[in-house]
Amino acid sequence: MKKFYAILLIAFFSIFNLYSQDCNSCSANNKCNGKNTPKSAATKLAQSSEDEFEDYDPEKESQNTAGTTSSDDEFEDYNPDADTASVAVAQEAVISIPIYEHRLFFPISSLIMTALAGIFVRFSATRKLRGLFLAISVIVLGFYVGACPCPISSFSYTIIALSGGQVIWENMIWFLALIPLTYIFGKTWCGWVCHLGALQEFLFMPAGKLEFLKTRKAQQVMKYIRYVLVAILIVQLIITHSYLFNKIDPFKTAYNLGFNAGYTEWILLGLLVLTSVFMYRPFCKSACPIGLVLGWISKIPGASVLDKNESCAGCTLCATGCNQQAIYRDPVNKISVIDNKECIACGECLDNCKKCSMNFFRKNEKHKTVNKLCKENLPAD
């Protein structure tokens, strides 16, 4: 196309010269001697003493080639040994990366701890290790890692992927792997390993708790708030295909000691600390999408659920010991009720029961998601 335009331009100037004034008929011919004669581009090119395009000379080309040949040629001969050595060096560099710097190291370590917690919570001797698990979580997943990534980010990237967004597949593993672990062991991630829940738990002061926040009405209000906030989060992820919670995450602000935090982050952190002092795990109850989704796992047949056994006396010890208030008193029938959707498998109710009347079961027609804790001969309704 460029050649076509060049030829067209030359033809235009050539035609123009055909109609130009003849020098012989010009009165100023003696003075200019043809200097003012219009010349076409082709004529000017032909008259140029230094042509831009020279004729091809094979001998000159051979001399130029010989002169440019040197030991520092840009294109060297292929050397298989050198190529193999380069690959080996690259592989060695990859292998030399410390394992704890791998993208999946902390998610996989957390999943292993979640599985161990699922075993430990079933035995009274090992249930005492729960505080150690939470402390390790705060130190490692919190202050060392900086609270990000976490299952909330993994959940968010999973929603983005399901809605057609582009994500790195490793970012989804943490959340997706928690689903089968919760099905097998219960919500031990929430009760034993989660660094977000651990921070709230260490801030909680039982002596300063506000009683009106323990009422069933207050618990229901927080459930509704969580449904609304999680729905807003999902809509935002589907529309924007971007993870934005980390920009206002109060836990990230806390674990990074306020580094590079704005006013919004500080305000949310202050609200989190204040509510955590007077309420047990307020974020878990009113905002966390992980606790909400993992709670639904208890509705699947065969999932791990807590229920009474034959020795249950129908007392209130289990309800009294449940700070999460997954076990509450039914004011009508005067019995305790456990809602496994809210249970975090902390094991406090198991330790409080003097008769060992509670156990983990598989969900079926007898052991349901919501179970009434009473003697068999007491009315269930």
For 48-58, the pLDDT digits (tens) are 444 455 566 66
Give pLDDT, residue 17.
Answer: 46
Residue 44 CA to residue 48 CA, distance in Å, equals 6
Give pLDDT, residue 73.
Answer: 52
Give pLDDT, residue 124.
Answer: 93
Residue 132 CA to residue 115 CA, distance in Å, equals 15
Q: What is the DSSP letter of 8?
A: H
Tell me the C-alpha to C-alpha distance, in Å, between residue 168 and each of 171, 173, 210: 6, 10, 44
Q: In the CATH hierarchy, which fold is given to the domain comprising 302-373?
A: Alpha-Beta Plaits (3.30.70)
Residue 232 CA to residue 253 CA, distance in Å, equals 22
Give pLDDT, residue 354.
Answer: 85
Q: Which parts of the chain register pLDDT below 70?
A: 1-96, 376-381
Residue 161 CA to residue 140 CA, distance in Å, equals 28
339 neighbors 370 (Cβ within 8 angstroms):
yes
Q: Is 328 helix (H, G, I), strand (E, B) or coil?
A: strand
Q: Is 330 helix (H, G, I), strand (E, B) or coil?
A: strand
Break the chain into its structural domains and give their ranges. Answer: 101-296, 302-373
Q: Is 296 helix (H, G, I), strand (E, B) or coil?
A: helix
332 neighbors 374 (Cβ within 8 angstroms):
no
Residue 188 CA to residue 194 CA, distance in Å, equals 9
345 neighbors 186 (Cβ within 8 angstroms):
yes
Q: Where are the alpha helices (DSSP H) in 279-381?
A: 282-286, 289-296, 317-320, 348-352
Residue 340 CA to residue 328 CA, distance in Å, equals 12
